[in-house]
């Protein structure tokens, strides 16, 4: 899960796997994906409870569906 | 398995220290922080690692990664309101650090793994203030989250 200066740089990286090229996205898009409540709510005093709540489960489902 | 309330207190205690100092408490310190015995604190540490998903250094009980942060230095340098001392677990989690420091400017600096030239991202809450270079991308060769046994090596 790394950042690269451009798509070309990612493709030239020795760890690049063509099978996962669907994950090659602009940083702004990854920032959007990592804005899901699963990440936003980490500062709560009851975060683990949140992840098991209805809202937390819904966030996790949304997160999974947003993944490329 | 720890009670949910204990897990909540432990998670908040660990994350609070990581956000404050860039370091995670040893389980003996965690025991005092959340008022449980030492054996329970060790178990809770491992339980939380499986949930977050972070990791301990292989073969030890030492927290090495507590996402979005990493205790062990990575190439994702994190600066918060101009102060350094934190590292992100990975390039993607780096983008989520802002949620733990509301109202503060977060800057990520990393070398490109292909060429070593710099990449930076500046964020404040919901705003992405800059991405340099603008065409920077994120990419992973493994599933996000990944298998627990592979986490320390991704």
pTM over 0.90: yes
Tokens of B71: 């205790």
Average per-residue pLDDT for chain B: 92
Q: Give yes or no for residue B24 having a pLDDT over 90.
A: yes
Confidence (pLDDT) at B153: 39
Residue B99 pLDDT:
98
**Chain B residues lying within 8 Å of A10, measured CB to CB:** 114, 137, 139
Interchain proximity B48–A48, CB inside 8 Å: yes
pLDDT for position B96: 97
Tell me the residue length of chain B.
154
Cα B79 from Cα B96, distance rounded (Å) = 13
Tell me what the mean pLDDT of segment B43-63 comes to. Answer: 91
Tell me which chain A residue has its CA closest to the CA of residue B108.
A3
- What's the mean pLDDT in B78-91? 97
**Percent of chain B beyond pLDDT 90?**
84
Which residues does chain A have within 8 Å of residue B138's beta carbon, measured at their own beta carbons? 1-4, 23-27, 29-30
How deeply is B26 buried, as exposed, middle or buried, from its count of CB atoms within 10 A (0-12, 13-18, 19+)? middle
pLDDT band, very low/low/confident/very high, at A44 (cuts 50, 70, 90) = very high
The chain A residue lying nearest B126, using CA atoms, is: A35
With 0-12 / 13-18 / 19 or more C-beta atoms within 10 angstroms meaning exposed / middle / buried, residue B102 is exposed
B53, pLDDT greater than 90: no
Set of chain A residues whose Cβ sits within 8 Å of the Cβ of B154: 1
Band (pLDDT 50/70/90 cuts) for residue B152 is: very low
Q: Tell me the mean pLDDT in the region B54-69.
A: 93
Is the pLDDT score of B2 beyond 50?
yes
Give the confidence band of A68 by pLDDT, cuts at 50, 70, 90.
confident
Question: Given a cut of 70, is residue B108 above it in pLDDT?
Answer: yes
- Domain locations along chain B: 4-66, 70-132
Nearest CA in chain B to A43: B100
CATH code of domain B70-132? 3.15.10.60
Residue B105: both structure tokens together: 């400017």
């Amino acid at each position: 899960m790394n950042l690269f200066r451009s798509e070309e740089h990612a493709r030239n990286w020795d760890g690049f796997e063509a099978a996962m090229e669907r994950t090659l996205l602009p940083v702004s898009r990854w920032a959007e994906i990592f804005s899901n409540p699963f990440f936003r709510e980490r500062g709560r005093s009851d975060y683990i409870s949140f992840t098991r709540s209805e809202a937390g489960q819904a966030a996790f489902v949304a997160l999974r569906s947003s993944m490329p | 398995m720890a009670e949910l309330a204990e897990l909540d207190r432990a998670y908040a205690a660990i994350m609070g220290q990581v956000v404050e100092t860039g370091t995670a408490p040893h389980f003996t310190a965690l025991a005092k922080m959340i008022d449980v015995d030492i054996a329970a604190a060790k178990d809770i540490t491992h339980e939380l690692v499986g949930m977050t998903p972070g990791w301990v250094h292989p073969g030890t009980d030492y927290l090495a990664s507590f996402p979005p942060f990493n205790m062990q230095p990575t190439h994702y340098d994190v600066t918060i309101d101009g102060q350094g001392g934190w590292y992100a677990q990975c390039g993607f989690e780096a983008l989520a650090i802002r949620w733990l420091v509301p109202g503060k400017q977060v800057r990520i600096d990393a070398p490109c793994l292909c060429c070593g030239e710099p990449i930076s991202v500046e964020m404040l809450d919901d705003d992405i203030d800059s991405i340099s270079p603008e065409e920077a991308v994120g990419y992973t060769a493994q599933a996000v989250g990944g298998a627990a046994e592979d986490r320390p090596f991704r």
